[in-house]
């Protein structure tokens, strides 16, 4: 059955980080299909060799009739983040939505196996990235007195039995608390801040993780997260903020 889009995000401007593949790409394409102007952000290349670039995702969106701008950005680098946000404002004049999706996952290592460099690298991508990107867009959102920040969380940040390990689970737990505290901080400016936990997905990255094969058939395509992301993108501080949302908590027909 063909999905029906109702332009819920018509005229909105959204930045999606880590959108060269997987969940980020799926959310960026869903936003564009709902009428948003989407800034697709990603690093220049995957350190693990996975395919996909920000430019390619943006091109796919434009080929489908949407509006998108592909930008290279390492979210752990303040100068690159500020440049990305500046270019967004230069091109589109505003920022309505930020999806902090970019991140990395180190698996199968005990605390004693994790080198300080690896620890710092994960903290930089998974926690410093959302901090830098949120800090960069907030002046514009505060001036607008509106906006929505969506931080991609994980069940591994709430349940130690999910197998995330001490490093990844710690970064995601920190992202959850960062989101809840930031939601309170910016509520007076009409800005919503929420956490979206996508659950088990069939992505290029997860396919390379051995233990995901145990529940591969129960996992869903990243496109299944799109409707929940759209719902959160359209929220304000007065409607829905400071919450942890599980994928598919909101159906495709919300607001119809």
Catalytic residue set = 168
Q: What are phi and psi of 72, to 5 degrees?
A: -85, 130
Q: Tell me if 204 sits within 8 A of 22, measured CB to CB.
A: yes
Nearest Cα neighbor of 68 from 9, 114, 113 is: 9
For 84-104, b/e burial (b = at least 16 CB within 10 A) is bbeebeeebebbbbbbbbbbb
Q: Which residue has the tokens 């145990």?
A: 214
Distance CA 118, CA 110 (A): 12
Distance CA 89, CA 96 (A): 11
Q: Tell me if 133 sits within 8 A of 97, measured CB to CB.
A: no
- Give the CA distances from residue 70 to residues 28, 32, 45, 106, 246, in Å, rounded to whole numbers and listed in that order: 11, 13, 13, 27, 28
């Amino acid at each position: 059955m063909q999905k029906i889009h109702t332009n819920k995000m018509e005229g909105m401007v959204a930045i999606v980080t880590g959108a060269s593949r997987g969940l980020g790409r799926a959310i960026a394409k869903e936003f564009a299909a709902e009428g948003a102007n989407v800034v697709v952000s990603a690093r220049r290349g995957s350190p693990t060799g996975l395919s996909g670039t920000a430019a390619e995702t943006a091109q796919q969106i434009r080929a489908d009739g949407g509006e998108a701008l592909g930008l290279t950005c390492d979210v752990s680098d303040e100068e690159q983040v500020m440049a990305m946000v500046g270019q967004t404002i230069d091109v589109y004049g505003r920022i309505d939505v930020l999806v902090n999706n970019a991140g990395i996952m180190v698996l199968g290592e005990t605390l004693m196996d994790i080198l300080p460099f690896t620890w710092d690298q994960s903290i930089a991508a998974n926690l410093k990235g959302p901090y830098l990107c949120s800090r960069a867009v907030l002046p514009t959102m505060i001036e607008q007195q509106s906006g929505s920040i969506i931080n991609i969380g994980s069940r591994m940040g709430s349940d130690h039995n999910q197998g995330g390990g001490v490093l990844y689970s710690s970064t995601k737990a920190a992202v959850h608390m960062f989101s809840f505290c930031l939601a309170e901080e910016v509520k007076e400016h009409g800005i919503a801040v929420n956490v979206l936990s996508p659950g088990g997905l069939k992505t290029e990255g997860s396919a390379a993780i051995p233990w995901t094969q145990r529940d591969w058939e129960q996992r869903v395509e990243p496109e299944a997260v799109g409707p929940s992301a759209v719902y959160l993108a359209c929220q304000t501080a007065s409607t829905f903020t400071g919450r942890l949302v599980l994928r598919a908590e909101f159906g495709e027909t919300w607001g119809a």
